[in-house]
Amino acid sequence: MRNRPVGLKPHSRINRRIIATLLVSVVVGASQYAMAEEYKTVPVPVEQIGKMTTLSGTVIPYKEVSLAAKTPGHVTSVSGKEGDTLKTGSVLVSISDDSIQAKRRAALAEIASAQSALGNARMQYSRELISPRINSITNMPGMGMPAMFDQFFTRGFSNMSGKSDTGVERQADLYSRYSGVSQAQSRLQQAHAGLDTLDASLRDTRTVAPFDGIITQKLIEEGDTVQPGQSLMRFAYTKFLRLQVEVPVRLVTVLEKGMMVPARLDVRGPSVVARVSQIFPMADASSHTVTVKFDLPEGTPGGPGMYAEVRVPDESEVYRSAPVVPVQALMWRGSFPSVFVMDEGKPSLRLVRLGVKLDDGRMTVLAGLKGGEQIILNPPAGLASGSAK
């Protein structure tokens, strides 16, 4: 009886070790299976693509306006300097308005006079309706004698003597008073129109920001005298930037609106993907080029006036081989494209330099990736290099 517990103890230890080992194997296997299911990888194919031609261009604002004076005068204030940001409706430049203010006060006085004249005309018209002028003795010929008889004979004496036609005179008097009212109303409307014109001139003495943006160039200073049409400053919206490139005619046929092409700001600047936003309908007769504008991604480092390059396909050249990746594998760290490559069973973040976008939506890769490498599709958020698979 005493030997059984001693004999069972080694077997019990072995069983526990076997069970623990099996549990660890199951957990590790399940974890590896879950991680394998989490990453969907595809090999990078190599395809034949045409040669890319590099074209130089200039960074321009998304939109820019030149603000000019609309009224003569001297500049009383200028808001900010080059590079300052202002909101929509902010006053950028103010021009003296003393003479316009004086004319406005005169216009207000003219309106008051016209209103008084209109009130008097309406009063005269109302009196004519209530107490006709034709019944007044002072308006009748013959020292008022016919009117005296008319008070007894209902104007029969005047009509019989051929002095007047009561109905015609009555209508003439009413029309005269009504015309006075109409003329007074017209004078009042004309006075209000003059005031509106002066108010518009007053608004023209204030140049305001048409949209949120920055001052890119200031052409006047406080105290300068300006004339209508004179440039005051340039104002631009630079939250988004564009490239303006003069593209040779033989290359324009390859481009279409919405097409993605690789671009680089400055010689050593970062490589980004630009989108064709506008292709001008006419070519320049002297240079035989067409102006094309490309939209840059939001947050692209740089500013208006910088040198830039874009690479566009050249169908006249021979084709060459290049890796191609689906857009589902691309990640963007700021304006830098990258992919996760499986390296010895672990994901590794790889920066790539993109080429053109193919018709099926895939992107060619100019540098950073080789054909045959395994890349992760739709990498999950938070994935980092070296994560265990």
d(CA 238, CA 213): 7
Going through 106-170 in order, the beta strands assigned E by DSSP cover: none
Compare 107 and 170 and report the one with higher pLDDT.
107
Q: So what's the pLDDT on residue 141? A: 52
Count how many residues are written for the chain: 389
The neighbour count for residue 253, using CB atoms within 10 Å, is 10
Q: So what's the pLDDT on residue 370? A: 85
Q: What is the pLDDT of residues 330-352, one digit of tens each?
A: 888 777 888 889 888 888 888 88
d(CA 221, CA 232): 9
Tell me what the mean pLDDT of segment 163-168 comes to: 62
Q: Which helix (H) or strand (E) holds 197?
A: helix 166-204
Q: What is the pLDDT of residues 102-155, one digit of tens each?
A: 888 988 988 898 888 888 888 887 877 777 766 655 555 555 455 555 554 555
Domains of the chain, residue spans: 97-203
d(CA 234, CA 86): 13
Report which of 100, 44, 50 is spatially closest to residue 72, judged by C-alpha positions: 100
* Close Cβ partners of 126 (under 8 Å, ≥ 6 residues apart): none
